Amino acid sequence: MTCTDSINNLTTYIQSLLDTNTDACCQEFLMPTDITTYTTAITTTCTTSKSTITSPVSDRAYRLHNFDLPVHTFCDFVFRGHSTDVSTIPKSALWKSVFDNTAITPPRIDTLSPTSTDEYQLLLAWTMLLQNYVSTAQTVNSNDAVMAEMAYQALCNDKQYFQDQLDTLCEDQSHEDALQDVVDDPNACKELYAQERKQHARERLQAKKLGKRCSTRRQTKQAMYVSLNHAVMQCYEHALVDSRFHQEQKEWLRKLDDNRVLAQNVEQKRLLGKTIGSVLCQAKSSLHRLTQLIQSFLEEWQQCALMCGVTEMPLMRRMTFQQQLKTTLFDLCALMRQQYTGNSALCENRCDSVLSYYPFFNYSTSSCYVSTASATSDAFVLEATQTLHTYSTEQCVLQEMNLSMLQSGAVVTKSEAYRVMERLVRWRYTLLVFGS
């Protein structure tokens, strides 16, 4: 027996107690001793102890995650016709096992039950799954943004280092060439120095005639210190030195070019990560509106059942609710259709689209690119969403079992029993959808 089976048995038992006590909605009745059998079964079966969550940081530091939010697949299910075979609806590999579970197939909006809240609870569980998936994706996307920023700063530091090394190389070689010129032909250097002094003297004299001020030079004799190991070099030795210098210069220039290309790639990923984060934010807002619409409708239905004994919501109210759901879903579909970069879809694997879908966009901070292949599944965001929410939901169920209301001999009103049953039904569908 599973946790959902135990919850279903308990809700069926509570419903039988409510059917037995058909008087006023606030009438109190004693909880029978049989309730212990059902609460004990829930305590035994609702225990999620194993987690499949893996960290995306250690082995995916240079990956920008592209998330698969199945908006169009979900809409194809809820807007399907009577004769539509759900197996023919295109589904991505990530969500295929979830949508193929016939026990939790999303209900059709146009044929929602007027007398039972089960289909509404199932629809609420689906919207909560998608909303929680987006929330987890936003956390991973924030981590991606930090990693991309760190990679960009690392490339900026490398660029500065390469440029400094190139400048130092040129400066050192220039000084070395000047020393070698002195050694090779000291008389020519002396003559060149004398010509420079004469030219400077003429410039000062001309400036004095025009009443202008000319910069002065040090009148002390310039000296160059030549080490003892410097000897006169032949032509082929000069060629070797020049060849070595140009080779080193070419290497540093190559590193600067590689750095520029990598920086452009990382900058593109930074902007792409911001775009993905914006799409997730807008999608979460739409899914939040869907969740609020369904929850408010269920609360209104519960109040009518408790206060007025109404078992069926008015037709106009149900039609208004359905129209609000459709409008929000159409807006969400329009949003997701506009999300793409180049020939790649963002945040949704639209199986019937001409756009390609990639779960990751890789980048690197090194010209020697190393593949970031991972042993973990690409569905780790969905797995984390399902595991965390299943665990938290089961904890809510177990906490409910510890309340005095569900203890043998407890005094319970019918309104309290209705509220407990409503929460249990919601948790049951949540576990069905999240645990698939």
281: left (phi over 0), alpha (psi -120 to 50) or beta: alpha
Given this model, what pLDDT does residue 319 score? 92
Question: What is the model's pLDDT at position 30?
Answer: 82
pLDDT for the residue 403: 76
What pLDDT shows up at residue 46? Answer: 85
Confidence (pTM): 0.80
What pLDDT sits at residue 219?
A: 45
User: Can you spell out the DSSP letters for 350-383?
Assistant: -TTSSSB--SEEE--SSSS------SS-TTHHHH
Q: What is the DSSP letter of 83?
A: T
- Number of residues written out for the chain: 436
Question: Residues 74, 106: contact at Cβ < 8 Å?
Answer: yes
d(CA 79, CA 16): 34
With residue 63 as reference, give the H or E element that holds it. strand 63-65
Residue 20 to residues 17, 29, 408, 414, 425, Cα–Cα distance (Å): 5, 10, 17, 11, 20
Q: Specify the pairing of strand 340-341 against strand 344-345.
A: antiparallel
Quote the pLDDT of residue 1.
76
The pLDDT of residue 134: 94
10-residue block means of pLDDT along the chain (436 residues)?
88 84 65 87 78 52 86 92 86 89 90 90 94 92 89 92 92 79 72 75 74 55 53 74 86 92 92 93 95 92 76 86 94 90 87 84 73 60 85 87 80 83 90 82
Q: What residues have CB less than 8 Å from 121, skipping those under 6 apart?
A: 298, 425, 426, 428, 429
pLDDT at 86: 87
What gap in Å lies between CA 196 and CA 193, rounded to an integer? Answer: 5
Cα distance between residue 381 and residue 286, in whole Å: 20
CA distance 215 to 201: 11
Q: Among 151, 129, 386, which Cα is nearest to 266's?
A: 151
CA atoms of 336 and 275, how far apart (whole Å): 12
Residue 84 CB contacts under 8 Å (≥ 6 apart), including other chains? none
**pLDDT at 404 (0 to 100):** 65
Give Cβ neighbours of residue 44 (< 8 Å, ≥ 6 apart): 6
Helix (H, G, I), strand (E, B) or coil at 30: strand
